Structure 1
Amino acid sequence: MIYFKAFLVGGAICLLGQLLMDLTSHKITPAHILVGFVSGGALLSALGVYQPLVNWAGAGATVPLPGFGHALAQGAIKAVQAKGLLGAFAGGLQAAAVGLTAAIVFGYLIAALFNPRGD
C-alpha cells in the first residue's frame, strides 16, 4: 500500500507542475516550478502541514521538489533549536547534504561516462 500512496502523492505533485506549465501558455517555466515547489515545501513544512503528508506517503512526498524544501526547513528548524539563530544558516544544508552530494557525484559520473549530443 505504501507504493500506491507514494505513487499517488508523487504523481499528483508532478501533475500539478505539468498543469501549471501547460495551462499558463508556458508563462510559468520549469525554473518557476522548481523555485515555487521548493519554497512551498519549506513553507508547508514550517507550518507543520508537510510532515503528515510525508508520514502518509513516504517517498512520494520526500523525493519530489517540495520534499527538498521540507528537508531544508526541518534541518534549519532543528539547527536553530540546537545552536540558536546561527543554526538557520547551516542546518538546511546539513540536512540535505547526502542528497545534494549524491546528485553531484552521480551527475558527474553520468557526464563523464556518456557523451551527450548537442543536436
Structure 2
Amino acid sequence: MHRSTRLFTLSVLLVAAGSGPLIGHAPASRAACLMTGAALYQQACAYCHGATGQGGVRQSAPKLWGKNNVVQNSAYRTPGALSEFIQRYMPLQPVNGVNPGSLTKTQAQSLAHYILSQQHP
C-alpha cells in the first residue's frame, strides 16, 4: 500500500473513532461506513469535486468541505438529505465505472456520512 493511501486510511479511521454515532449505522460499523464512503468518494466524486473536496475541478463542481462549502448552509447538511441527493443525481456523468443514478442507497449513505465527517467550519 502506498504511503499516501495508508495516511488517508488512517485519517479516515481517526475521524471515525472520534465521531458520534452515524445515523442508520451501528457504532461498530462507523469506521467501515466512513472507509466505504472515502473509497467511493475517490472513485466517483473526486474527479469533479477534487481529492480534498475543494471543488471547481470539473463543471464548476462545488466545494464539499472546508470554509464556505456548499453543504454547510444547504438543505443537504443532514445525512438523509445529502444521501438522497447523491443517490438521485450523482455523479453527473459516468466516472470510473460509476454511472449517474447507479449508486445504491447504502453507497449514497456512506458517501454522505464521509462528506459530512470532513471539516465543516
Task: Tell me: higher relative CO, structure 1 or 2? Use CA pairs within 8 A at least 6 residues apart.
Answer: 2
User: When the two structures are superposed, what TM-score results if normalisation uses the length of structure 1?
Assistant: 0.32
* Greater Rg over alpha carbons, structure: 1
Higher-helix-fraction structure: 1
User: When the two structures are superposed, what TM-score results if normalisation uses the length of structure 2?
Assistant: 0.31
